[in-house]
Chain A
Amino acid sequence: MDTARTDMVVADEMFQRVGIDEELSEHLDKPSLTYWADVWRRFRKDKLALFGLVLMVAIIATVFLGPLFSGKDYKYMDSSVKNLRPNAQYWFGTDDMGRDIFTRVCYGGRISILIGFLCTIVMFVIGSLMGALAGLKGGWVDNLIMRFAEFVGNLPYLIIVVILTMTMGRSIFAIVLAMSLTSWVGTCRMVRGQILQLKELDYIEAASALGANTTRIILRHLLPNTMGIIMVQVTMSIPGFIFGEAFLSYVGLGIRPPGTSWGALASAGQARLMFHPHILFFPCIMIVLTTFAFHLVGDGLSDALDPKLRE
């Protein structure tokens, strides 16, 4: 036993002080996750939502890049190929004027998706700014904005659309204006409710004690903290607007030919339903898939934004 101990050579340099590096003691190898990075981490776990996101990207990519691959023009009529079934040359077939349905669906999809996004952006910007102002200022400003919102919200939507499309022509601009004129009311109410909750918190008071003006408080403190709920509403409302536009085009108030949209295509296809159902089928399936994809993403987002809700 004793011999084993004497075998060990104890040198001075074995007892060097290692010391503590104060800076390193607080170092984390894992990077600090921002709020949105954390949301993305949770979102990725939801397979269905991820599928929705892939589908959404695929649809948008097809709509914008599709015509490049099909190599056809959406307006070009070829009377020798009317009402063809889907085949190798015309992937979705042709319509009653011999136009390639795939190219038309892509082109119409651009308009539909564009309108969906534009309406949502207008709704989101106007609604959240009005809501933030009403919630933050309170008093007569709040009263004025909310009464105005109630007034606008009670206007019959169809009548406004008819009047606007009649006076301004059936352009994209008129449709976007007509649809977003009333839609911001919901966002406004929701954001106002959130702001009323948030503005009582100390960090808002701290910001104003630091000298921050109203714009800064809204943009830097209040909106980032309501963004989660707003994002869910945004993804959920895009398909709503696409649907709304489809409805308007279907009843003949939407995009004017030669321009087209999914709704207009479906409307045209309806007349040929008996003998050439594929003309109606393809624009309809696109509308359904798009709505489905956006809803899946919205659902996943709302779960990812509020993990407590799911447990």
Chain B
Amino acid sequence: MQTVEVLIEVNNLKKYFRVGRNAFVKAVDDVSFNICKGETLGLVGESGCGKTTCGKTILGLYSTTDGEVIFDGVNIHALRPNEKTEFTKRAQIIFQDPYSSLNPRMTVGDIIGEGMDIHHLYKGKEREEKVFELLNTVGLNKEHVNRFPHEFSGGQRQRIGIARALAIEPDFIVCDEPISALDVSIQAQIVNLLMELQRSKDLTYLFIAHNLSMIKYISDRVGVMYLGNLVELTTSAELYDNPLHPYTRALLSAIPIPDPQEERRKQRITLHGEIPSSINPPPGCRFASRCQFAKEICTRAMPPLVEVDKEHFVACHLARQF
């Protein structure tokens, strides 16, 4: 990181979904972090831990329950409608499922051009040129412009989704598991495309995934989420070399090593116990019920996210003790 200029500041973000009269799913519960200009922040965690909700709330697709999201100095949840439209021009999203994220009744040209139409960026001939250029950028062909989404493969559709997000030249893109629905060989292509675009267009990413190796490859910093909380946040190298939270350690031990002998020697940390329900999470550390080191204090008080090393934040009472 050359210049540390904060683009997005997430402060005590909470997002609860009402599921019953007095029952809430605490999808995101008190999460704070920054995203700097030009960096990629990775967000990992198991299914249902609130990664996607977090990403969509940052974009304003969901309203917040509490807390704020500051984008370039303004709270995006307190915008007037026309300011909101301005904001959508600067922040975009790429979806997980390339099949449901494209309207089946629109041609590729219209899908990519929709953002330009909404923001009145280009018209007529210029719009057409721009769409061709975008198709070229994401590795598709001019000939594809009049086809419909069902005529493409998963990887190609994901490229269309990326082109749509790029069409209005945003500064920030939330990549919501853009590779997990794709074939392994295609995953590498898409990730490399995303990294190349980041360099050439100076983009900032929030990259959500559950593939740890991929996250390490693409991210500058990584945040680990567990049941709506951020449990560890540090640079990607530090996280993989020196994980402090027991949950992060368990996650990292699950990465397969592409060497059978190494793999056999590896100590796998297996987690036991149930994930507590996010409707009524127990007091104290959310991870306590599955943590092999849990002590009495863990079930009583929620550990705050503290900076234990430079740029290394952990939410664990016992972080320094093992």
Interface of A is mostly: helix
Q: Report whether B114 and A210 are in contact in the complex, using a CB–CB cutoff of 8 Å.
A: yes
**A38 to nearest B CB, angstroms?**
9
> Closest 9 A-B residue pairs measured CB to CB?
A211-B88, A202-B101, A26-B141, A26-B143, A202-B95, A224-B105, A210-B115, A203-B103, A211-B85
Complex interface: stretch among B4-12, B145-153, B205-213: B145-153
Determine if B317 is an interface residue (Cβ-Cβ < 8 Å). Answer: no
Please, what's the 1-or-0 string for A2-42, where 1 marks a CB less than 8 Å from any CB in chain B?
A: 00000000000000000000110111100010110000000
Is A208 in contact with B144, judged by CB distance below 8 angstroms? no
A209 to B89, CA, bound (A): 9
- Would you call A216 an interface residue if the criterion is a C-beta within 8 Å of the partner chain's C-beta atoms? yes
Q: For residue A22, which residue of chain B has the nearest CB? A: B141
Would you give the shortest CB distance from A132 to chain B, in whole angstroms?
15
B95 touching A32 by the CB < 8 A rule? no
Given A22-B141, A206-B95, answer yes or no on A211-B101 (Cβ-Cβ < 8 Å): no
**Are B84 and A202 neighbours in the complex by a CB distance under 8 Å?**
no
CB contact between B118 and one of A27, A216, A221 (< 8 Å): that residue? A216
Which B residues are CB-close (under 8 A) to A207?
103, 114
| Chain B positions within 8 Å of A28 at CB level | 143
Q: Which residues of B contact A210 (CB under 8 A)?
A: 88, 92, 114-115, 118, 164, 168
Residues of B close to A22: CB separation below 8 A? 141
The reply to whether B142 and A209 contact each other, CB–CB distance below 8 Å, is no
Residues facing B in A48-74 (CB within 8 A) are none
Q: Which of A22, A23, A32, A225 has the most CB of B within 10 A?
A: A32
Q: How large is the interface on B (under 10, 10 to 19, 20 to 34, 35 or more residues)?
A: 35 or more
Tell me how many residues of A have a C-beta within 8 Å of chain B.
Answer: 25
A205 to B95, CA, bound (A): 9
Among A202, A205, A216: residue with most chain B CB under 10 A: A202
| Closest Cβ neighbor of A28 among chain B residues | B143
List the count of A-B residue pairs having beta carbons below 8 Å apart: 75
Q: How far is the CB of A136 from chain B (nearest CB, A)?
A: 14
The smallest beta-carbon distance between A32 and chain B, in angstroms, is: 5
Query: What would be 10 A-B contacts, judged by CB atoms less than 8 Å apart?
Result: A25-B141, A32-B151, A202-B96, A202-B100, A205-B56, A210-B114, A210-B164, A211-B88, A212-B118, A225-B103
Q: Which of B163-193 contact A (CB under 8 A)?
A: 164, 168
Q: Is B239 an interface residue (CB 8 A)?
A: no
Output the least CB separation between A27 and chain B (Å): 5
Q: Enumerate chain A residues within 8 angstroms of B151, measured Cβ to Cβ.
A: 32
**Inter-chain contact B114/A212, CB cutoff 8 Å:** yes
- Assess whether B93 is interfacial by the CB under 8 Å rule: yes
Cβ of B225 under 8 Å from chain A = no
> What distance in Å separates the Cβ of A277 from its nearest Cβ neighbour in chain B?
51
